[in-house]
Amino acid sequence: MNFLSSLKGIPLKRKPEVEEFPLLPLRELVLFPQTVVPVFITYKMGIIAVDEALKRDMRLFAACFKTQERGETYAAGTVVRIVQHLRLPDSTFRVVLQGEYRGLIVSSVRNTAVAVVRVEPIKAVSEEPASPEVIALIRAVQKSFIQYAELSKKVNNDTITAVEKTESVERIANLICNALVIKADRKVSLLSIRDPGERLDTLLETLELENEIFGIQKNISGKVKTRMEKNQREYILHEQLKEIHKELGKNEEEDEFAELERSIEEKHPGEEVLLKAQKEITRLRKLQPLSPEAGVLRGYLEWIADLPWSEYSADVGDLGKAEQILDEDHFDMRKAKERILEFIAVRQLVSLENTQSGIKGPILCFVGPPGTGKTSLGKSVARALGRRFVRISLGGVRDEAEIRGHRKTYVGALPGKIIQSICKAGTINPVFLLDEIDKLSSDFRGDPASALLEVLDPEQNSNFTDHYMEVAYDLSKVLFITTANSLHNLPYPLLDRMEIIEIPGYGENEKLAIAQQFLVPKELRENGLGAATITFTDEAIREIIRYWTMESGVRGLEREIARCVRRIARDAVKDEYGKDPEKPIISFHKAVDREDLEKLLGRRKYKNDVVFKEARIGVSYGLAWTETGGTILPVETSRFEGNGELIITGNIGDVMKESARIALSYLRSIQDRYEFLVEDLGKTDFHVHVPEGAIPKDGPSAGITLAASLLSTLCEAPPKAGIAMTGELTLTGRILPIGGLKEKLLAAIRNGMEQVLLPEDNRDDWAELDGDVKSSIAIEFVEKAEDAFTILFDEGIRKLAGSTKTAIRPVSLRHRKKHGYEGSLHYKGH
């Protein structure tokens, strides 16, 4: 039945001012006048309203719920008449409703079982004939609605025809609003507008917005369709091309797969790798070229084809030339250079065939402070051997997959850094530098240090298996070099697999030689003054080392020299050198002396450590090792009356706190041998402080220093000035050996110490030091703490030879004078 055509002859009833109607709430449905809509009434409130309307005049007030929870309704709605109704077996209704006029709820009728509301008609503001502006709006709305109907394809032809023929503002607005597919709140807004012009204007704006949205959707759909058609077209053309090649007796894909297989075979991998590759190529042939799995397999096979499986770089056989290259690039580093030369010598004694099958590359670990040339030494080793060089930085690496790779089932999977770097090197025997191995981390993704156990084990790395590659790769020919600033953070199993070569810090004379031979010429070249005649005096270099740098390496020294050279370059440009033909840069001369440094570098940056020139009671000087080199460790002690407590401050670690307790306990055990000016140790508190509290300090090597400071306080006798010491103290007074000897001695020399006390067991380490360090400071080797006390203090602190250990102890003459009882002896029981 065509409801729109049946409405053409229905006269519009005169709308009374206010009438009462049963309220029919609707969900997500807004009814408009002059429209006929079938509705199913399935909820209780609606069924009661229909029953009430059937008892009255068949009319209802239809309003839409504001929310889906069926609570409050909008105030604006439509008075509708029940044209047809059918009660279903489950007591629900199917009704056909005809809209009569728009209305607004004024109030509700109380004391009724049915929701009844009073409704006021929504009248137009003016009922005069349409103005030209309104007529123009009507035509614009009609045109926009026809466009909307074409785009949405959801408007029937009867509605389009009715909209085109009508000239009534009310009728055209109602028909279009009913046909629009928009949200209920926007429809209610259009329903409640009184002014015809404003209603048409809002309707036109809504239509234009919907048309624009349809246009954007159509554009997006077109692009997607174009891409799909392009992919389909490529697929069809590809299939046609395959058929053409078949007719011509060719097969492009077969040629591609055969070429891939041939490139893998030419690399001469092992039989296992070859079988794996052939299996994957067979799988690849059966897959569609555009499938994701085909891309994964193709990438995997390309990695196998790119890896060097049998390519070697020939090693340099001239031992003298290799030694010359190492000496050209680095000063000193005797142990590291000797180890590399030993490796080359062994290679010369083994034939090439046996070399490739038998000898394994060493795994070296260069340990030393920053700036000592560990990383650059790796490059120099590669140049001396004539091998390719690759480097990966392990600082901050915390994912095991960085070493072993991801399994190729993951999206974007790649081999680990080891395989990637070998592929980059292009040979099976490069020099492989694992930089900053002590900076490895670990978290829930795994422990990279444990993954390196297989890489750095000469017995296992011949069958290293990357998760991505899934086949064994031989790393035994690789010369692995690792670098670290400290070995404390490395797991013992990893440390056990490496050959440790210490690269200690440089002394002042070594830094001077490095600066004059390497750093100054390098900075002159890099700053455009290579042709000029610029020299640095030895005194100037020493001043820079002492007062502008505080390091074991030469990185800071290089920076300061570069600052000097840049300032000199600026002065040369100001004087027109290099620009004026009469002033070529080769004619520029400059000699940098110590007096020029303030102008070139500014004020001095560093002073000596906290060292007093004069001897002081309770102050002794130890030597500490850090990752950046050695330093002086002053220890201060004071005593006062208390409960025998030992207070330790200065950001001290547990091991060093234990050393202080051991030192105090040892001194208690030997109190009968020294003149302690303390009446009762049990009623005396000691406060031990190590200055520069912001810096953490720990380790056992300050034991003898702590004991000397405590003894000085107990005897009120200062240790001799200019003496530093280091050594671990035991409870029985033995002094145990320490590490980092060279760095500690360099710190003592830098701070003007005249003598250093070392443990007797470090005598062999002292013998291996360079001559310039040995000649710069005096050394005394001590085996027991009392030997050190004899050197540090005058004999006045020791008791007379005739005194023996008893239960009572005489108070010293000095103490008796102090307290005014010189002529008598005062005994204190223990």
Coil, strand or helix at 365: strand
- Output the CA torsion 661→663→666→668 (10° steps): -70
Coil, strand or helix at 483: strand
Looking only at the bridges linking them, the beta strands covering 116-121 and 93-109 are antiparallel
Contacts from 518-521 at CB under 8 Å and sequence distance 24+? 518/331, 519/554, 519/557, 519/558, 519/561, 520/561, 520/565
C-beta separation of 607 from 750 below 8 A: no
Q: Return the axis-axis angle of helices 538-547 and 555-574, rounded to nearest 10°.
A: 120
First to last CA, the chain: 123
C-beta separation of 93 from 87 below 8 A: yes
List Cα–Cα distances, 74 to 30, 189, 560, in angstroms: 10, 10, 81
Residue with tokens 């007796």: 249
Sign of the Cα torsion 146, 151, 153, 155 reads negative
Residue with tokens 């429809």: 187
List Cα–Cα distances, 155 to 99, 145, 212, 214, 588, in angstroms: 19, 10, 17, 14, 91
Strands in 486-612 per DSSP E: 499-502, 533-536, 589-592
* Active site annotation includes 107: no
Q: Residues 697, 712, 744, 812: which is the catalytic one?
A: 744
Within a 13 Å sphere around the CA of 72, how many CA atoms are in the beta-carbon half?
5
Q: Residues 659, 701, 712, 812: which is the catalytic one?
A: 701
Distance separating alpha carbons of residues 131 and 397, to the nearest angstrom? 79
| Secondary structure tally for the chain: helices H, strands E | 30, 26
Q: What DSSP string describes 741-801?
A: HHHHHHHHHHTT-SEEEEEGGGHHHHHTS-HHHHTTSEEEEESBHHHHHHHHS-GGGBPPT
- Output the CA torsion 187→193→196→198 (10° steps): -90
Looking only at the bridges linking them, the beta strands covering 827-829 and 755-759 are unpaired
The three-point CA angle 471-477-478 to 5° equals 90
What residue spans of 32-114 are helical by DSSP H?
44-55
Residues 6+ apart with CB under 8 A from 517: 331
- Nearest CA to 792 out of 784, 802, 800 is that of 784
* Active site annotation includes 701: yes
**How far, rounded to the nearest angstrom, does the alpha carbon of residue 655 sit from its chain's CA centroid?**
33
Catalytic residue ranges? 701, 744
